Structure 1
Amino acid sequence: MGILYQAADPIYWVIWLFVLFALMAFNELGRVKLWCGLVLFALVPIALTLFVWPETAAPGNEYGTGTWFNWVKTYSALAGCLGFIALRFVKWRGADGKTHYLYEKRWALCFPPLILAINIAEAVIRDFQVFGFALWEGGVVENLWTISGPWNIMNGIAGILNIITICGWFGIFISKDPSKDMIWPDMIWAWVIAYDLWNFAYTYNCISDHSAYCGLALLLACTIPTFFIKRGAWLQHRAQTLALWIMFVMTVPQFADVLAPIPTTHNPTAFFVVSLLALASNAALAVYQFHRIRKLKLNPLKDQIYADTKAYQRIVEENK
């Protein structure tokens, strides 16, 4: 028995690796080819909504995919993908005869932090909701095993801090290369790691026996490209991999429960520790960011908080 997970057959971890690399591959395909992005995040979801999900994600189904949360998360992730594609590629010729781009509009740059904050808030609400179930010894709710405890409150607070520390969105720009990625340089590695720890704790708390996939694999699928493939485009990677995964889950709901299950150990100590790490990391980030804002006399709603850091400057140099 492991510390966090227990798999009945080692082959399930091989399948887990396949899922990880498949998510990364399809993310790259949708990133570098506009037509692929439109097919994956517009045409495919329309077809699935009309012909597949009404059956595989019907309310009350035995795999728990028919909840309000799954449906809201699916379309909010897809909205993020399509919104980011619009920021990257929508352009027009103005009355002045010049070509103008959507990302040049400050109001348009408010969309990325807004959709990100909404997605985090959805999960924060769910953590508090699971605490409200009062399943102190564990139990099944909406066909998913879960256990209520102080970890839900701790991680809910971590998620709120994660929203508060979103910064620098007016510094978003589009990369100079053919892929025209949405680059957010102020979203440095410290925020990404704090988000990853929070989101993993959320999946561990609320979608426990699915968290090896929708937590660990899914977070690695966007974090690895952020550090090693296309730096500065974390939110774009995150939206696309999240949309890909949740579309798959809504289509093949039995995957994580029957076909390749990797359940958690159901150990309360594990729940407490992962949420404590999430809370500590996000609290530390919030304190550090507040210190920078105060020391440098910055406006957190307008200024770039980390513009003088090497991480920020490296991303700008590579993409602008």
Structure 2
Amino acid sequence: MGIFYEVTSFSGWAIWLFVVFALMAFNELGRSTKWGGITLFLVVPIVLTIAVWPKTAAPGNEYGTGNWFNWVKTYSALAGCLGFMAIRFIPSLAKKKWALCFPPLILGLNILEAAFRDFQCFSYGAWDGEFINNLWVMSGSWNIMNGIAGILNVVAICGWVGIFISKDKTKDMIWPDMIWAWIIAYDIWNFAYTYNCIADHSFYCGLALLTSCTIPAFFIKRGAWLQHRAQTLALWIMFVMTVPSFADRIAPVSTTHNPTAFFVLSLLALITNAALVIYQFNKIRKNKLNPLKDEIYADTETYKKVVAENV
């Protein structure tokens, strides 16, 4: 696989595709019915929290799932899923501006958690690569570049005042101002984050996971990227907390541990997110918009198509 990953077999790619389509299928189950979502994102996590995760994700376990980040990420992702369900299925909430602040806040929190993790990996000083908390990490300038890229991605979050609930039976949470440019910038940053901080798991938790939410955002239910992202992330991390040996023992695909790969990915993430912020601020200035009150991309064809498909 060249500069980024060690060569994997046909069966490795088959497993990767299975992960992608399984996440997409469960995401559809979770969004198609209220009770499907409640089962997946409330009932199942309660059972796992009590009966499974204290053993499979115990602090210091050999697979690295017992660190603070995994636990925080699990419950913040689940909080996002449940919060979005409340907005979707309690009609009065979607009409309240304070409720519409929840999606950007939980999204920003998740991104900043990961940016902090990048900075933390730099602080380890593992310049030649080493196992820390049972995860292989190589510290370098890439951690700083990608941490900054994550902060820029948060700065570029916009237009949440325009969030609304689709009129079809699935009642999806539609965010039309979250256009393709932001999604791609996020994907590049997040993949670089997984590559930097969870390197030898990133074939799945980076590449497969991002694919599983980006495909639905562009081809199944446009405008609902954040909903797709929260649900696939929650599903994946619940699986990892339950079966921590998957990426290390069952279906491992290691990175090449090549410093050039780390540097290139994080530099690309930094450039992409900086370009997005510059473009967006120029658009705000040119159109005299207030990013706290106005939608930035309401004049674009992409925005108009998303709205037309869901009203």
Aligned to 2:172: 181
Query: What SS does structure 1 have at the residue aligned with 2:101?
Result: helix
Aligned to 2:272: 281
- Taking structure 2 as the reference length, the TM-score comes to 0.99
Query: Structure 1 residue 161 and structure 2 residue 152: aligned?
Result: yes
Aligned to 1:143: 134
Aligned to 1:52: 52
Task: Render the CA deviation track for 1:158-202: whole Å, top value 9, x for unaligned.
Answer: 000000000000100000100000000000000000000000000
Aligned to 2:89: 89
For the residues of structure 2 that align with 1:259 and 1:32, how far apart are their CA atoms? 31
For the residues of structure 2 that align with 1:7 and 1:143, how far apart are their CA atoms? 23
Written as runs of structure 1 = structure 2, the 5 A alignment for 1:30-179 is: 30-91=30-91, 101-179=92-170
Query: Structure 1 residue 200 and structure 2 residue 191: aligned?
Result: yes
Amino acid at match of 1:124: A
For the residues of structure 1 that align with 2:33 and 2:12, how far apart are their CA atoms? 32
For the residues of structure 1 that align with 2:8 and 2:237, how far apart are their CA atoms? 24
For the residues of structure 2 that align with 1:6 and 1:13, how far apart are their CA atoms? 12
Aligned residue among 268, 276, 281 for 1:290: 281
For the residues of structure 1 that align with 2:8 and 2:202, how far apart are their CA atoms? 16
Aligned to 1:13: 13
Given that 1:158 and 1:279 are in contact with CA atoms closer than 8 Å, whether structure 2 keeps it comes out as: yes
For the residues of structure 2 that align with 1:66 and 1:256, how far apart are their CA atoms? 15
Amino acid at match of 1:23: L
- Taking structure 1 as the reference length, the TM-score comes to 0.96
Task: Render the CA deviation track for 1:196-217: whole Å, top value 9, x for unaligned.
Answer: 0000000000000000100000
State the shift of 1:10 in Å.
3.1
Once the two structures are aligned, what percentage of the paired residues are identical? 73
Query: What SS does structure 2 have at the residue aligned with 1:140?
Result: strand
Task: Render the CA deviation track for 1:37-86: whole Å, top value 9, x for unaligned.
Answer: 00000000000000000000000000000000000000000000000000
Amino acid at match of 2:89: F
Written as runs of structure 1 = structure 2, the 5 A alignment for 1:235-314 is: 235-314=226-305
Query: What SS does structure 1 have at the residue aligned with 2:292?
Result: coil
Root mean square deviation, CA, Å: 0.7
Query: What SS does structure 2 have at the residue aligned with 1:107?
Result: helix
State the shift of 1:12 in Å.
1.5
For the residues of structure 2 that align with 1:230 and 1:8, how far apart are their CA atoms? 32
Q: Where in structure 1 are there 5+ consecutive unaligned residues?
A: 92-100
Given that 1:218 and 1:242 are in contact with CA atoms closer than 8 Å, whether structure 2 keeps it comes out as: yes
Query: What SS does structure 2 have at the residue aligned with 1:145?
Result: strand
Given that 1:7 and 1:261 are in contact with CA atoms closer than 8 Å, whether structure 2 keeps it comes out as: no
Amino acid at match of 2:139: S
For the residues of structure 2 that align with 1:220 and 1:9, how far apart are their CA atoms? 20
Aligned residue among 199, 204, 209 for 2:200: 209
Given that 1:186 and 1:307 are in contact with CA atoms closer than 8 Å, whether structure 2 keeps it comes out as: yes
Amino acid at match of 1:296: N
How many pairs were matched up? 311
Q: Where in structure 2 are there 5+ consecutive unaligned residues?
A: none
Q: Which moved more, 1:1-10 or 1:263-272?
A: 1-10
Query: What SS does structure 2 have at the residue aligned with 1:23?
Result: helix
Query: What SS does structure 1 have at the residue aligned with 2:142?
Result: helix
